């Protein structure tokens, strides 16, 4: 296979990953009214732990507090990020929640930039979000709060993952974080779940969410990150909100006003333009993965 074919295959696989993640999020929108966000997130984390731990089990004898604390914070951040995002999906809709959440990594990418183009892109994205949240004349304040918390947590997730990637080999840091997140989420899920609403169909739906949103993307990323540059990876990721909006309409029956559709496209184009014109810098596979999986 030629280098060009490898890049095309990697880009195609990345698009599949974006579809998988956002389809999983749309299914979460169906499950949350039945079992609640804590249960959905807990099952998703169980699936992720099952996918990661067998292959990247940390050596307990080598763990020290200096190595461990970033992974512990990462697990806490992971729990907050997913809980906040799914609550935002429930209250705002998938397309709007995904667009606002994407402001986290986008802001992080621009925070140290001094280029006028980046300032223009950031201003354009901010205008798109303003149009998105106010075009209907009303917005759920609690949903907006959850979406902003998810955005901040996603930015924190990338920073913590960068630290964990340096101190742990492979995905061992993610393994520790997944266990921490699971430890925090399972008791909360058990306290809030209505067992009378569980059925084999609901359990199958929860399993599908975990596979589509966590297990499958992580496995596919090991293929993708060997074939495309971090810049191309980030550019494709920046159009995730558009894919999320499409699944929100198709799966959840959401209705987006024309102004909201335009706003989502504005945010994605602004982010894509800013990222596409950045200089490539070497980053770890794990850091790049963090940019795609909320």
Cα-based angle 107, 111, 116 (whole degrees, multiple of 5): 100
Per-residue pLDDT, 209: 94
Per-residue pLDDT, 289: 45
Quick one: how many helices (H) and strands (E) in the chain? 14, 0
Q: Which of 91, 98, 248, 90 is nearest to 256 (CA)?
A: 248
How do the domains of the chain map onto residue ranges? Answer: 3-290
pLDDT in tens, the chain (294 residues): 576 677 777 778 888 888 999 999 999 999 999 999 999 999 988 888 887 777 666 666 566 666 677 888 988 998 999 999 999 999 999 988 998 988 888 787 677 667 788 778 888 888 888 788 776 557 788 999 999 999 999 888 878 877 776 676 656 677 778 888 888 999 989 988 888 888 999 999 999 999 999 888 876 765 676 677 666 777 777 888 889 999 999 999 988 888 888 888 988 888 878 777 766 554 444 444 444 445
pTM, full prediction: 0.83
Per-residue pLDDT, 281: 52
Q: Are 176 and 68 in contact (CB under 8 A)?
A: yes
Per-residue pLDDT, 164: 76
Spell out the residues 6+ positions from residue 124 whose beta carbon is closer than 8 angstroms to its own: 266, 269, 270
Per-residue pLDDT, 156: 87
Q: What is the DSSP letter of 212?
A: I
The number of C-alpha atoms within 13 Å of 153 and in the hemisphere containing its C-beta is 23
Cα-based angle 171, 173, 177 (whole degrees, multiple of 5): 115
- Chain centroid to CA 234: 12
């Amino acid at each position: 296979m030629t280098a060009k074919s490898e890049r095309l295959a990697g880009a195609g696989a990345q698009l599949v990953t974006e579809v998988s993640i956002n389809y999983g999020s749309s299914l979460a929108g169906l499950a949350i009214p039945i079992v609640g966000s804590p249960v959905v997130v807990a099952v998703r984390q169980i699936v992720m732990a099952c996918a990661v731990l067998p292959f990247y089990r940390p050596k307990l004898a080598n763990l020290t507090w200096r190595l461990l604390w970033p992974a512990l914070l990462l697990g806490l951040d992971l729990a907050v990020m997913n809980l906040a995002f799914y609550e935002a999906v429930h209250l705002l809709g998938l397309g709007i929640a995904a667009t606002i959440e994407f402001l986290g990594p986008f802001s992080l990418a621009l925070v140290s930039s001094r280029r006028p183009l980046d300032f223009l892109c950031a201003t354009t994205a901010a205008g798109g979000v303003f149009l998105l949240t106010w075009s209907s004349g009303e917005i759920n304040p609690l949903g907006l709060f959850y979406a902003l918390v998810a955005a901040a947590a996603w930015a924190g997730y990338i920073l913590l993952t960068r630290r964990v990637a340096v101190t742990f080999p492979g995905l061992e840091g993610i393994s520790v974080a997944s266990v921490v997140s699971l430890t925090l989420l399972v008791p909360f899920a058990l306290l809030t779940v209505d067992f009378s609403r569980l059925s084999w169909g609901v359990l199958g739906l929860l399993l599908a969410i975990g596979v589509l949103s966590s297990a499958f993307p992580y496995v596919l990323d090991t293929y993708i990150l060997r074939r495309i540059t971090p810049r191309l990876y980030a550019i494709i990721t920046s159009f995730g909100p558009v894919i999320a909006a499409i699944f929100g309409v198709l799966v959840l029956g959401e209705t987006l006003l024309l102004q909201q559709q335009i706003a989502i496209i504005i945010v994605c184009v602004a982010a894509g333009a800013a990222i596409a014109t950045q200089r490539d810098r070497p980053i770890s596979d794990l850091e790049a993965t963090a940019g795609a999986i909320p």
